[in-house]
Structure 1
Amino acid sequence: MNAQMLDQLQVETCFMLNIEITFPGVREWFNLAGHTMDDAALFRALFMPNKLPTEIQIPFAQLVFFRHEDIFFQMHRNYPPDNPLHQLLIRLHNVRTLRGDDEALIDLWEALKWDRDSAEPKYKDIHHYFS
């Protein structure tokens, strides 16, 4: 996939998560489309779609680019979104947009480090992101 399409995919993914749908809603949507992923894989795909294997990039991009505002989105809207992975993903998208990939990865690493040491971890499903 060319660089311009990957950049657009990042923009569309960020917009979708900020305005349209929560992280659990995206997971359900991908499951319905036959792309079942655990939280860590989906988080990785949404955060850095350019790092997806080439054979997955096109179907993933099609699901994001050609989404429609339908009953599914209406069912999974949640203002404010209360899922911690959703909140973390939005924050990291914002950091990535403003300060770049490296800063976003550093912020993610720090968030996961703090979360692992927490008495009540919020991001347990993605603690192995960097492994």
Structure 2
Amino acid sequence: MLAVNDEPVAIKEIERAIVDHGFAEGWIKPHPAPSRTGKRVAVVGSGPAGMAAGQQLARRGHQVVVFEQDDRPGGLLRYGIPDYKLPKGMIDRRLEQMAAEGVEFRCGVAVGRTVTAAELSAEFDAICVAIGARQPRDLP
């Protein structure tokens, strides 16, 4: 956004500073569900969609396990965005919040190879598939 007589305002930097300050002051806290549903949900993929689904399902009282084929959760956020754009500590901070809300992460598990869909169906009441695109698309 460009001010009338001044330099542009970097909204992204202002928002990041507010969130960082909120975490530093302890204002942003985990919100575990007040009660449990007894339902188990598998979330396949730990990128932005998998993290969002896992956190919201856990906050609704479901027992959530997020499966990630890489060695650490985060998907595109961790492996596709450079540190100067998104510091990995921000991802880890969010993952810690999710773990405190009851979300379990199982890394190094490739659904379809390490564990089958049938095995997941037998263990969980529901499966949320939130996998990302592993191969980039060429532009025409």
TM-score range, shorter chain: under 0.3
Q: Which has the larger share of helix?
A: 1
Q: Which has the larger share of strand?
A: 2
Computing the radius of gyration over CA atoms, which structure comes out larger, 1 or 2? Answer: 2
TM-score by length of 1: 0.26
TM-score by length of 2: 0.25
